[in-house]
């Protein structure tokens, strides 16, 4: 493990004014996205769509791209590996390595993320293919007072720790993603009260498994109201609660925090990131690692038609630039509407 090399990659991933594109949708997930825009999901259409993003001007605002196993192996229409397109754009290729979730025995309604078996071998192969960072997502649900159980919190944190240690042994920077879902009618206070022990348990496991904190990136949820909560917290409260949580739970040794969007609308994800960054200075660089909040607009603009590629690229570039501004605390509604 080369800690200085890991730290250099981690720092580059949170370069001010840049963020991470989560283009790691599984085949099943991207089919749902394509179904919504009436596009057949094939290896070619998936390749064409992602190639459109990787060749856009929006990549100037992207420090790294999380890829799916299929995508890291694909070539562009002209035969250029997609990994090379990302590198030529000045971004770092990364890879999703978890294999989804399974029901957690004894914990009804809760899951554990799987994929640790043979992960060391897979990481070595991904490194050879150009990946310099990886991602593993743990899913924590909120439902009444009994979920999440401490069992679910512990087993998912333990898996995140094992994954991160294996990544660093392979000289790959781990993105550690404990996501407390925003599904449900819970208020922002309940989100805070659940996310705090989740983060504390994650960092406990990272220390136990000797993960070098300076060679990783944290990808947490923001502290927000549940989607169906009748009272939605405002932007200022989301920012204040999120920063309070980070100060309580995240060691200063972590180079950066790249928030997930978690189902927020495009503009909400941008506004919240901007408000959080306006509360600095903070010990970490704070940026985005968005999937839907970067891609929903370009998917609609593209709609699977070659003639729409320029429109899709413009839509992606706009969202990337808005979030790049937010990562510096420089976004405004006026800039959003003027583009």
User: What would the 3-class secondary structure string for 254-276 be?
Assistant: CCEEEECCCCCCHHHHHHHHHHH
Q: What is the mean pLDDT of each run of 10 residues along the chain (339 residues)?
A: 95 97 95 95 96 98 98 97 97 97 94 97 98 98 88 98 98 98 95 98 98 98 96 97 98 98 93 95 96 95 96 97 96 81
219 is catalytic: yes
Indicate which residue of 219, 247, 305, 337 is catalytic.
219
Domain residue limits, the chain:
3-338
3-338 domain in CATH 2.60.40.1180?
A: no
Report the pLDDT value the prediction gives residue 287, as an integer from 0 to 100: 98
Residues 304 and 244 sit within 8 Å (Cβ to Cβ): no
DSSP category for residue 97? -
Buried b or exposed e, range 49-63, using 16+ CB within 10 angstroms? bbbbbbbbebbebbb
CA distance 239 to 271: 9
pLDDT value for 337: 79
Beta bridge partners of 113: 101
pTM here? 0.95
Bond before 231 cis per omega within 30 degrees: no
Contact 24, 67 (CB under 8 A): yes
């Amino acid at each position: 493990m080369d800690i200085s090399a890991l730290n250099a990659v981690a720092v580059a991933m949170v370069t001010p004014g840049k963020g991470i594109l989560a283009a790691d949708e599984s085949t099943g997930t991207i089919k749902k996205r394509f179904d919504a825009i009436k596009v057949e999901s094939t290896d070619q259409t998936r390749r064409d769509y992602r190639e459109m993003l990787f060749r856009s001007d929006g990549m100037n605002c992207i420090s790294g791209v999380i890829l799916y196993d299929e995508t890291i192996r694909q070539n562009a229409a002209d035969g250029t590996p997609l990994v090379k397109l990302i590198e030529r754009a000045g971004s770092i290729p990364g890879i999703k390595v978890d294999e989804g979730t399974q029901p957690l025995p004894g914990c009804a309604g809760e899951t554990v993320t799987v994929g640790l078996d043979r992960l060391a071998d897979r990481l070595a192969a991904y490194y050879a293919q150009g990946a310099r960072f990886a991602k593993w997502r743990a899913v924590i649900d909120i439902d009444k007072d009994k979920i999440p159980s401490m069992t679910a919190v512990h087993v998912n944190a333990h898996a995140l720790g094992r994954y991160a240690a294996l990544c660093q042994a392979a000289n790959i920077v781990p993105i550690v993603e404990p996501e407390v879902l925003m599904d449900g009618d819970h208020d922002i206070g309940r989100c805070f009260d659940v996310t705090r022990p989740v983060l504390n348990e994650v960092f406990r496991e990272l220390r136990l498994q000797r993960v070098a904190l300076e060679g990783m990136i944290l990808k947490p949820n923001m502290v927000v109201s549940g989607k169906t909560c009748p009272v939605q917290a405002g932007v200022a409260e989301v920012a204040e609660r999120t920063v309070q949580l980070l100060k309580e739970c995240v060691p200063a040794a972590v180079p950066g925090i790249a928030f997930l969007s978690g189902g927020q609308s495009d503009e909400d994800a941008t506004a919240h990131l901007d408000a959080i960054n306006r509360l600095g200075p903070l010990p970490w660089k704070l940026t985005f690692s968005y999937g839907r909040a970067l891609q929903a607009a370009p998917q609609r603009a593209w709609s699977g038609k070659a003639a729409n590629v320029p429109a899709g690229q413009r839509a992606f570039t706009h969202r990337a630039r808005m979030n790049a501004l937010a990562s510096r605390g420089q976004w405004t509604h006026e800039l959003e509407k003027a583009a």
